[in-house]
Amino acid sequence: MPSAWDQLYAVQDWVLARFKTVPHGFHLSGRTALSRGYYV
């Protein structure tokens, strides 16, 4: 059974993948970006 963190990361990945397809000014910063390996 996946841990709660694995489930949370899956949701974050899903949301971020959709944000990447839309032209906007959204970006992550700080600890969230570092912990998920997401850099703009």
Q: How many domains does the chain have?
A: 1
> CA 21, CA 39: separation in Å to the nearest integer?
15
Q: What residue type is assigned to position 7 of the chain?
A: Q
For residues 8 and 24, give the distance between their C-alpha atoms in angstroms, rounded to a whole number: 24
pLDDT digits (tens, 9 = 90+) for 14-37: 888 888 788 877 777 777 666 666
Residue 40, pLDDT above cutoff 70: no
Structure tokens at 18: 């959709």
Q: Give the model's pLDDT for residue 9.
A: 84
pTM: 0.57
Distance CA 38, CA 23 (A): 17
Instruction: Give the domain extent around 24.
Output: 4-36
Written as one string, the DSSP assignment of 1-40 is: ---HHHHHHHHHHHHHHHHTTS-S-----HHHHHHHT---
